[in-house]
Amino acid sequence: MLRQPRVSFAAEGEQAMAEVLSFKEMCARFDVTPRTLRYYEYIELLSPQKEGRARYYGPREVARMTLILRGRRFGFSLEELRQWLLIYDHQGTEAQNRAWIELADRQLGVLGKQLEELQAAVTDLRALRDDVARILTD
């Protein structure tokens, strides 16, 4: 459920108020624990707007959370993701894209090696299973 904040968090010059998520809504949307969301704020991956003790997450933070979770799924560390997001904040999109390509190339190598190891493990497990199945049928 999206809500309209009591105050506008829109950038200067924008007429419309941006829809934002509360802390609880952000946790629910991304299926993360409150502890995880607070930790991402602590290490400065996210910077929600605050009104008293309440936190509100606008489109920028929702997009960043999407990138963070996608990056985690690809095996990137939080520090790598933090550095990448900092590059975007300070150097713009071209630098961000160059850094992302470098990280992606390196991670593709890591994932390729993991895939080979998993394929070898599956082959070994299948062979062991077949050996045990033969024992049962003999």
Token pair of 32, please?
A: 């993360």
- pLDDT (tens digit, 9 = 90+) per residue, 95-127? 778 888 998 999 999 999 999 999 999 999 999
- pLDDT (tens digit, 9 = 90+) per residue, 11-58? 443 434 568 999 999 999 999 999 999 999 999 999 999 999 999 999
Paired residues of 55 in beta bridges: 50
Give the pLDDT confidence score for residue 13 in this predicted structure.
38
Token pair of 134, please?
A: 């033969």
The full set of domain ranges for the chain reads 1-73, 77-138
Q: What is the DSSP string of the chain?
A: --B--SS--PPTT--SPPPBEEHHHHHHHHT--HHHHHHHHHTTS---EEETTEEEE-HHHHHHHHHHHHHHHTT--HHHHHHHHHHHHHH-HHHHHHHHHHHHHHHHHHHHHHHHHHHHHHHHHHHHHHHHHHHHH-
Is the CATH code 3.10.130.10 the one for domain 1-73?
Answer: no
Q: Is the pTM of this model over 0.75?
A: no
